[in-house]
Chains A and B, each alone.
Chain A
Amino acid sequence: DAGVTQSPTHLIKTRGQQVTLRCSPKSGHDTVSWYQQALGQGPQFIFQYYEEEERQRGNFPDRFSGHQFPNYSSELNVNALLLGDSALYLCASSEEREIRETQYFGPGTRLLVL
């Protein structure tokens, strides 16, 4: 049983560009959450998707958008990249009915903006 997978593992972009990160949830999971983790800090919640809709959103600008597909996989898009967007982006999945109890994390995508 594959766990949460994310692609790519690493990415280098320049300021102003756009990026798309991908996440496949653990088998049987229907909810996907995205977190941004700056170097040396704890993760910050970006948003959460359930039933193909954004259900919750953290304090992130509209440059951050996402999507969830019918197979529950998800994408995170960031437009007009800034240097401050350099971070580890973590995807977490869960079953909606168990979301309070645990979230399983993928290995993350390391984004570097130059």
Chain B
Amino acid sequence: AQTVTQSQPEMSVQEAETVTLSCTYDTSESDYYLFWYKQPPSRQMILVIRQEAYKQQNATENRFSVNFQKAAKSFSLKISDSQLGDAAMYFCAHPDSNYQLIWGAGTKLIIKP
């Protein structure tokens, strides 16, 4: 069965600093997508960034970037210049062969002012 593992239940970072959230996954597919979603207290699940497995270049969206290591099945999220509005639960997710999203347990990110 495909799985997604987030080993950090909670992370904290000082405002304006950089933080990295970890994610590992398991899949037998060769071509797939990986996602990081943000869920603030408002509950809305918001797509932060996505990575296509066949692309070697790491995805970047403004202050958010990923470190994708396909052989290690690792997909970490780096947030630069952390802002108070980045405080949320962050979920790593991966669609299985039936396009169902398989989710990690989440990492709670706390931003210290």
Taking Cβ atoms with an 8 Å cutoff, the residues of A that contact B are 33, 35, 40-45, 48, 56, 58, 88, 90, 92, 99-108, 110
Contacts and interface: CB of A to CB of B under 8 A. Distances in A.
Contacts of A99: 95, 99
A102 B99 contact: no
A15 B106 CA distance: 29
B75 interface: no
Nearest 10 A/B pairs, CB to CB: A42-B103, A105-B45, A45-B100, A99-B99, A56-B98, A108-B43, A107-B44, A43-B103, A42-B105, A42-B106
Contacts of B47: 102, 104
A42 B33 contact: no
A88 B43 contact: yes
Interface of B: 4, 32-33, 35, 37, 42-47, 50, 91, 93, 95, 98-106
Nearest to A50: B99
Contacts of A110: 43
A48 B50 contact: no
Given A42-B91, A56-B100, A107-B43, 14 more contacts: A42-B104, A42-B105, A45-B101, A48-B98, A48-B99, A90-B45, A92-B45, A99-B95, A100-B95, A101-B33, A105-B46, A107-B44, A108-B43, A110-B43
A33 B44 contact: no
Contact of A35 (B4, B35, B50, B101): B101
A41 to B, nearest CB: 6
Contacts of A43: 45, 91, 101, 103
